Structure 1
Amino acid sequence: QKTRKVYQKAASKSILLLYCLSLAVGLSTFLTDNTAIIILNFIALFLLIVSILLLSFANTTGWDFGDYLKEVFLTALLSVGYIGKPTSDMKAYLEREKNNGKSKTRYVILGILLSVPLVVILAALLSSADLVFARLLAKIFHFNAADVFLFLLLFFFGLYSAYCGIRYVADKDNDFEKPGHPLREPLPVIILSVSVSLLYLLFSLVQFLYLFAGGLQLPGGITYADYARKGFFQLLLVCILNLLFVLLVKKKIQKSRTLDILLLTISCCTFVMIASSALRMYLYIRAYQLTFLRVFVLVALFTLTVLFVGVIIKILHERFDLLRFGVAAIGILYCLFAFSHSEYFIARYNLTHPGVSGEIDTYYLLYNMSADAAPAIVALHQKAVGSSAPSRYQEDPYQEDGYQENLRPSYEDPAEEMDPEPTWYQDYTERIRRKVSAMEGSPFTFNVSIAIAGHVLR
C-alpha cells in the first residue's frame, strides 16, 4: 500500500519536473569545463535527489522554505544511521528468493554468466575479421585504471547512499506531517513593518532621483566604481533579509489586511533595491570587466526577483504553493545558467571592453578561463591578427571592435617581433591543449567543451 502511494506521488508533475532538472544538471556537467559550475552541479544534484525523495514520501502541504531546508539537512544527516540497511535488506531479499521456488533471480545470474564469455569470444573473432572494427573496440576499451576505479567508486557510493536515504524517508513517512502552530498577534509586526516601509520608501525615492530618473548622476566626489562597490553587497543582504522577513511573517503571524499591504510595500521596495543592486553591478562591470562571480551575482539577483514575484502572489492568494514555485524557479533558472557557458561570454566581453584602465585583465583570462572560453578567445585573436598576419602588425588590427592594443605584444627586443601571438594567449592555448591530451583515450573523462576547444585550436 505504501509502495502504491509512493508511485502515485512519483507520477506527479512536481516530481517529474525534478527528474527532468536532475537529468539536465547531469548533462550540463558533461557539456562544460567550468569547475565552479561542475561543483555547483554536484550540490544541485544532491538537493534535487533529496527533494525527489521528500516529495515521494512526505506530505509537503503547508511546508515553507524553512521546513524544506530543515528536512533536507536532516535527511542527509540521519540517513547515515541507515548505513547497514542495504546489506541487511539484500541478505533478506536473497534469503526470500532462495526459499521461493518460482524465483527467476538464479536464471538472470546464469544468463549474465553465459553472455559475458560469449560476447568476449565473438568480439575477438570480429576484431580479427575487420581492422576498422578492431581499432574502434581498442579505442572504446582503452581505459585508464584510475578513471575506472573512480567511476565505479562514485557509482556504488551514489547507489548505496541513495538507498540509505530511501530507507530513512520511508521509515519517517508519518513523521513528516507539520503540526499547526497558533498564529501570533499582528499588531507589533504591523508597527515594525510601518517603520521599515517608510525607510524603504525614502530609500527608493533616493534611487529614483539619483540613479533611475537622474541619468546616473551622482553627487560630487563619488565615482561610479566606489558607488557600486560600497553599496552592492549591503543591498543584496537587505533583499535576502526582506525575503526571510516576509516568509516568516506569513508563517507565524495572523492574517491581517493592513499587514498584507505593508508586506506588499516592502516587497515592491525590494524590487527597487534589486534594480539598484543590478545597476551598481553593471557600473562595476563597466569599470572592471566581467568575472564568473559577477555574472553569478546577476543571476542571483534575477532569481530573487522571480522569488519575490511568487511572494507577492502568496500575499494576494493565501493558497498559492510558494515552496513548489520557488524550487521549480530556482531549478529552472540554475539549469539555464549551467547550460549558458557563461565563460564564453565573459571572455568575449572582456576582450572587447577594456574597462576604465584601458587594459584587459589577461591574468584572469589565463588562469581563470576554462575550455568554455576557448572558442571566443581563439576567434577574437584570429580576427585581430588575421589568418595570414605579417610578422609585425602593420595594419594595427587590434583597433577593431574594441580589441585594443592592450593585447598586442610590446616588443623591447627586436627579435620578439617575429612572434605574432601575445604570451598570455600562448600560455592559455597550451593549458587547454594539455586538457585535450589528458581527456583523449578515456571515455570516463570525455567532455564536450574540451573536445570543442581542441577542435578550435587545431
Structure 2
Amino acid sequence: MSETPSTPSAPSTSEPKGSASGERAAQEKRRSVAAGGPPPAPPASPGATGLGLEEPAPIHTATLWAALAAGVLSMLLLGEGMAVNLLVVAVPATLAAYFAGRRAGRRPRPWALVWGVGGLALLLVPALRAAAWPSFLAVITALAAGSLALHGGRTWPAVLLSPIGVFTSVVTGPVWAWQGLRERVGGDQGRRLGPLLRALVVAAVLLFVFGALFAGADAAFADLLGVLVPDVSVSDGPWRVLLLMVGLFGTLAAARTAAAPAHWDRIQVPAGRARGRVEWALPLIGLVALFAVFNAVQLAVLFGGYDAVLEQTGQTYAEYARQGFWQLLMATLLTLLVIVVALRWAPRTRSSDRTLVRGVLGTLCALALVVVASAVRRMDMYVEAYGLTRLRISVLAVELWLGLVIVLIMAAGVWGARWLPRAVAAGAVAGVLVFGFVSPDGLIAERNVQRYEDTGRFDLEYAQGLSADAVPALDRLEEPLRSCALREIKADMDEANLPWYATSWGDAEARRILDERPLSEGASALECGESEADSLYP
C-alpha cells in the first residue's frame, strides 16, 4: 500500500523549474501559509478528471492470485468468529494492494506505512481479546486506517472521505479484475494459466479424497485434520459463498484503489468570511472568563474537599460525580466546535490578528484541558463509589481522546496546522489500539473485584455478562462467588466451541484457568442468588 502520488513532490504534478505556472503556484502557497491557512491543493495531473479518478494500470497477475487467496481464506476461516484469522486474511489482501500500487508506479511513503502498520496492528486486538465490542471497534478503525494508506492525503477531506473511495471500488474493482483476466486468458499468458488452474483443481481433488481415506483409517490423523482444517458442511454453503465474495471483492476494491486512488486533497473547502475583531473576539473572551471562573471553583473544591460542597448542595456523592461528568463531557465537545467555528471566521490577514487568535483560542484550549481533567476526576469518583462498567470506561476513553485533540490543536497554533488532520487520525488509531490492548473487560473485572475486596459489594449479574477476558480477575473471588461469576462465562465458551483460528488469546487463557481450577459444583443457584451483591447502576 502506498500514498497517493498527487503530493507536490510527485512526478505527475511537478512542473519544470522556472515555469510561470510553477512560480505562481509557489507564490500562492507562500501567501496561504503566511496567512495561517492550509497550503493549496496540488494541481491535477494531465489525465485526471474531478478528484483525479484516472484509469488504473492493467491488473498484475500477482494481484489476481493474492485476491483469490484472500477470498478462499475468507471462505474457510471467517465463518466462526474473529481472531487470528483476520490477520491471516489481511496478509494476501495487503499484498494485492501492494502489487497493484507498484504496477501503477506508486511507491510507499512514510505516512502510508504508518496507516498500514497501524491497521494491521489493530487486527491484533481480536486475536488477543475475547470481548467482541473492542474487537469490532478495532476492525472498523483498521478499515479506516487502511483506506488512508491506500489514498494518502493530508487534509481534512482526505482523512474523512477516504473510506468512500474504497466503497466505490467495490463495483469497479471486480470489473477491472475481469478485464485483466480476459486479456490474460486470450493471450500467451492464458496458455500458461490453463495448465496451472487444472493442476490446482487436480491437487485439491486428490488431497480431499486421500485425506478423507486417511482420516477414516486413523483416529489420531482424523483429530489432527479436524483441528487444522475448517469444518465445512453443505448447509454452510451459502454462508461460505458470501464470505468468498466478501474477501475477493473487498481485496479487489483495495487493489483497485491502490492502483488509481481518488485525490481527496483536491477538494477545495471554501474559506469563511473573516469577521471583525469585536464580532468574533468578544464572545470568545466572555467564554474564556466563564471557563476561568468555573475552573477556579473546581480548584477550590479540590483543595477544600468534596464534603463541604455536598453539604451545601444537598447532593449525594454519586449524584455530584455522575451529573458533573456528563455536563463536562458535553462542554468539551462544544468547546471543540467553538474552536473550529472561530478558526473559520477569525481574521488572520495581519500579524496582530493572528496573535490575537492564538492568544484567545490558546487560553480557551488551556482552560478546556482543566475541564477535561475535572471530568476525568468526576468519573474516577463515581467508579470508586459504584464500580466500573463498559459504558463508563468507554466515555472516559473518549474524554481522554478529546483532551489529546485539544493538545494537538494547541500545538498546531504554534507550529502550523498542516499536520493536524493526520495527527488527529493517528491519535484515534492509537487510542483504539491501546483501548483494545488493555482489555476493557479484564480491567472492569479487576476494578470491581478490588472494590469487592475493599467494601464487600459486588454486582454478580453484571460480572456474569462479561467476556472470557474477565476470567483472570474473577478467578480471585472466593467461593461460591467465584463459581457463580464464572459459570455463565464458561457456558458461553463451551457453547461456542471455536476452532483454533477463531480462538483469541483471552479465550485460551480463560480455558487454561478453568481447567486448572474447575468450578465448584456445590454453588447452587440459591447460593449465587444470596451472594452479597449490589447494582453498578445506582
How does the TM-score come out when normalised to structure 2?
0.67
Q: 1:88 aligned to 2:175?
A: yes
Q: What's the offset of the Cα at 1:377?
A: 0.8
The match for 2:223 among 124, 135, 142 is: 135
Q: 1:42 to 1:149 in 2, by over 3 A?
A: farther
Distance across 1 between alignment mates of 2:261 and 2:109: 21
**1:359 counterpart = 2:457:** yes
The amino acid of 2:226's aligned partner reads A
- Aligned pairs for 1:20-35 (under 5 A) are 20-35=117-132
SS, match of residue 369 in structure 1: coil
Distance change in 2, residues 1:111/1:250 (3 Å): farther
Conserved 8 A contact 1:347-1:365: yes
Please, which runs of 5 or more residues in structure 1 have no aligned partner? 386-420
The question of whether the paired residues in 2 share the 8 Å contact of 1:436 and 1:451 is answered with no
- Aligned-residue offset at 1:67: 6.2
Change in Cα spacing, 1:189 to 1:374, as seen in structure 2 (3 Å) is same
**Which residue identity does 2:467 align to in structure 1?**
S
Unaligned runs of 5+ in 2: 1-11, 13-55, 58-98, 349-353, 516-538
| Whole-Å separation in 1 of the counterparts to 2:219 and 2:390 | 47
Deviations 1:270-320 (A, max 9, x none): 110001101110111111111122112222222122211111111112244
SS of corresponding position for 2:267: coil
Q: Deviations 1:193-216 (Å, cap 9, x if unpaired)?
A: 1111111111111111112x3344
- From 339, 353, 363, the equivalent of 1:246 is 339
Following the alignment from structure 1 to structure 2, what is the Cα–Cα distance between the partners of residues 304 and 179?
27
1:206 aligned to 2:297? yes
Match for residue 197 of structure 2?
109
Q: CA deviation at 1:339?
A: 1.4
Does the CA-based 8 Å contact 2:159-2:422 persist in structure 1? no
Distance 2:244 2:373 in 1: 44
SS in 1 for 2:199: helix
Amino acid at match of 2:285: V
Q: How does 1:270-349 map to 2 (within 5 A)?
A: 270-349=368-447
Asked whether the equivalents of residues 325 and 379 of structure 2 are also in contact (C-alpha less than 8 Å), the reply is: yes
Q: Distance in 1 between matches of 2:114 and 2:213?
A: 46
Match of 1:177 among 247, 266, 270: 266
The answer to whether the Cα contact below 8 Å between 2:100 and 2:258 also exists between their aligned partners in 1 is: no
SS at match of 2:273: coil
Pairing 1:400-411 to 2, within 5 Å after superposition: none
Q: Which residue of 1 aligns with 2:63?
A: none
Match of 2:186 among 99, 108, 118: 99
Q: CA deviation at 1:166?
A: 6.1
- 1:42 equivalent in alignment to 2:135: no
Q: CA deviation at 1:372?
A: 0.7
Going from structure 1 to structure 2, the CA distance change for 1:54 and 1:245 (only over 3 Å counts) comes to: farther
Match of 1:189 among 273, 277, 280: 280
Q: Distance in 2 between matches of 1:16 and 1:88?
A: 28
> For residue 304 of structure 2, what is the amino acid of its counterpart?
G
Which amino acid is the alignment partner of residue 324 of structure 2?
Answer: G
Count of aligned pairs: 406
Residue number in structure 1 paired with 2:506: 449
> Cα distance, 1:457 vs. partner?
1.0
CA distance in 2, matches of 1:325, 1:175: 17
Describe the superposition over 1:81-101 as per-residue Cα deviations: whole angstroms up to 9, x where unpaired.
Answer: x65434433432232113322
Aligned to 1:157: 246
- Within the candidate set 430, 443, 449, 2:487 is matched to 430
Aligned equivalent of 2:316 = 223
> Which residue matches 2:529?
none
Partner Cα distance (1:99, 1:303) in 2: 55
Alpha-carbon distance, 1:40 to partner: 1.7
Asked if 1 retains the 8 angstrom alpha-carbon contact of 2:147 and 2:163, the reply is no
2:53 matched residue in structure 1: none
User: 2 CA distance for matches of 1:268 and 1:196?
Assistant: 13
| Letter of the 1:335 counterpart | L
| Same amino acid, percent of matched pairs | 22
State whether residues 207 and 276 of structure 1, in contact with CA within 8 Å, keep that contact through their aligned partners in structure 2. Answer: yes
CA distance in 2, matches of 1:170, 1:126: 45
| SS, match of residue 333 in structure 1 | helix
CA distance in structure 2 between the aligned counterparts of 1:74 and 1:84, rounded to whole angstroms? 12
Cα distance in 2 between the residues matched to 1:120 and 1:139: 16
Who is 2:330 aligned against? 237
1:369, CA displacement in angstroms?
A: 1.2
User: How much does 1:112 deviate?
Assistant: 1.5
Give me the CA root mean square deviation. 3.3
Per the TM alignment, residue 268 of structure 1 is displaced from its structure 2 partner at its CA by 0.3
Q: 8 Å contact 2:101–2:258 — kept in the other structure?
A: no
Q: Is the 8 A contact 1:289 1:355 kept in 2?
A: no
Question: Does structure 1 conserve the Cα–Cα contact (< 8 Å) formed by 2:298 and 2:374?
Answer: yes
Q: 1:364 to 1:54 in 2, by over 3 A?
A: same
Deviation at 1:13, TM superposition (A): 2.0
For residues 245 and 469 of structure 2, the distance between their equivalents in structure 1, rounded to whole angstroms, comes to 30
